Homo-oligomer: A and B are copies of this chain.
Amino acid sequence: MKLICGVDLGGTKLSAALFDQMGVLIGKEITHDHVNETTDGIIRVISELVQNLLKNNNVLLPDIVGIGVGLAGHILYRKGIIITTSNFKVTFTNYPFVEKMKTYFPGVKILLDNDANVQALGESMYGAGKGFESMVFMTISTGVGAGIVLNGKLLRGKNGTAGEIGHSIIEYKSKYMCTCGNYGCAMAHSSGLFLPELYRYKLESGMTSSIGLNLDNISSFDGHFLKKGVNEGDNISISIMNESADIIGTSVFNIHKILDPDAVVLGGGLLQLGDKYMSRIKNQFSFLMQDMMESEMEIKLSEIGADAGLLGAASLLLE
């Protein structure tokens, strides 16, 4: 059976891997050579990485189903175009990614989607979402994203932007401004990018912190600091973790109300906070569910782990 090739294109790390169709890793290559390249240069670095990957594993192009690529960005899946990105030194703008890739791999099937979508598909085929007719994968990381899988297929929507639960408004009268310019987006209350802001709000509301950050150096308050603070019993850190979990639990409830899926799978960096965080998310969901009569929706942790982006990208070829 042919292999599937996945590419995970991040701002600082670019990786490519081969898997068999059961999701077993055959080989992997990693580089950082793309970081300072132009957009076309990044395509060249990707193609070199994939060529090396194939060569090092004695695999020929006819032996693979194709190449699936995942990246953080706004993507038109059907056209293979990147509308815009924000995680790279250069910005891809209305960039014909698939067409450009095909100049290096003529005749090869090449598919492109955003990182939340590919991870959702990967979890649904090989991870915590396996066996469910409908599932939503939600990642709580720098931002909050989601991918919706119905009957084994991603729901992409008209523009390919379905699943943007992080930018749905969860607090209509919020004072928390999101990077998108709106107030009250779920991610502005809960995700990594906003940790310094959340910390600032807590300080300004009169709370005190034992981790030694003040208004001058709060920009260094990231996920690692948050975890450290929580573990050391720091008031502000615990309060931020709880607020994030309550907002995510409420978002999971909203997903339930709107889509009624079989399961919601949670992944992303903030889940590293561990069981305290996950339990609170589940508790908030149960609190809002009260005694409603729907049969229980499962809330599960992502199971794929470190290679989620790679396996997810590769799984596009089997959708």
Contacts and interface: CB of A to CB of B under 8 A. Distances in A.
Contacts of A157: 134, 259-261
Protomer copies: 2
A25 B94 CA distance: 48
Interface string A4-39: 000000000000000000000000000000000000
A159 interface: yes
Given A160-B260, A260-B156, A260-B159, A169 B294 contact: no
Interface residues of A, number: 50
Contacts of A158: 133-134, 260-262, 294-295, 297
Contacts of A162: 258-260
Which residue, of A160, A246, A253, A260, has the highest number of chain B Cβ atoms within 10 A? A260
A180 interface: yes
B259 A155 contact: yes
A132 B311 CA distance: 33
Interface stretch (A97-105, A170-178, A208-216, A225-233): A170-178
A133 B158 CA distance: 8
A67 interface: no
Interface of A: 74, 83-84, 133-134, 146, 148, 150, 155-165, 167-174, 180-182, 189, 246-247, 250, 253-255, 257-262, 288, 290, 292-295, 297
